[in-house]
Amino acid sequence: MGAQRTGTTDPQQKHDQPATEGEQLPEPGSGDSITPRMGEVPDHGESTYRGSGKLADRVAVITGGDSGIGRAVALAFAREGADVVLAYLEGEDKDGRRTAELVEEAGRRVVTVPGDLITETACEELVDRAVAEFGRIDVLVNNAAYQMAQPGGIADITTEQFDRVLKTNLYTMFWLCKMGLPHIPRGGCIINTSSVQAASPSPELLDYATTKAGIVNFTRGLSSMVAEDGIRVNAVAPGPIWTPLIPATMPEEKVESFGTQTPIGRAGQPAEVAPAYVFLASADSSYITGEVIAVTGGQPVTI
């Protein structure tokens, strides 16, 4: 693990820069495969996150919840008192089960819903399952995402890849918001995952960056639309965060320097992103909607 240095307040020293030994991982990446082949297990807050009841008895639906940011958010939400409906890609069951265990260890109920959300039917089934199990959705976290770096730029982005990126990152968010809103009560919220790529697109991630900018615009438009219903809509824009997606979808030479371009000088850990989601899901942010919180190690996000 990028060792957490207990007690330090220096952001450059809180975690080590992840080591990058070994070959590129098979996509979409998993927490299990990253361990022996990359030597670095992402920190999701397993030994550090302490809850204080900010989300007591809330019901959260979290997509992309098997590993990375999704796992860290599920863990933090559970330790804050929320029950969790955990959606993740079919085939990532071992990682999904581990995330579910973290929720259960926090004393909260978890419902796992494996599947591929790139179809409208799958999104409808997720919402229906959440409502059947809990009767409502207090917090909807649209975190599922797909990327595949193409060093050759637009010439190497196939129509198949472009379609998959847009379906996973934009269509899924649209469908879940549309279907979920009738079940979100006043005081509920939606949190979408954007990216620093929305403001500073990397050429090799052109399609991914396009969707992340779209998420920002969607967030702002939807927030105005549902404010009168007492529902807030915000986004988190992570920067270079060390998750299994990175060594699975980026060339090895890019992984080696991942995050070192930030002012803080290292990649972030999922545990360092999750508190932003807790803040936006809690009453602490009751006067905040249509905003984007950047968690980027100092890289600016201005859109």
Catalytic site positions: 208
CB 244 within 8 A of CB 303: no
Could you tell me which residues come within 8 angstroms of residue 93 by beta carbon, excluding any fewer than 6 positions away? 114
Q: How far apart are CA 156 and CA 80, in angstroms?
A: 44
CB atoms within 10 A of CB 271: 24
CB 251 within 8 A of CB 149: yes
From the list 291, 231, 278, the residue with the least C-alpha distance to 84 is 278
What angle separates helix 68-79 from helix 93-105, to the nearest 10 degrees? Answer: 20
CB atoms within 10 A of CB 3: 10
From the list 158, 271, 177, the residue with the least C-alpha distance to 215 is 177
CB atoms within 10 A of CB 162: 16
Beta strands 83-88 and 59-62 are parallel
Joined together, the tokens standing for residue 25 give 């991982």
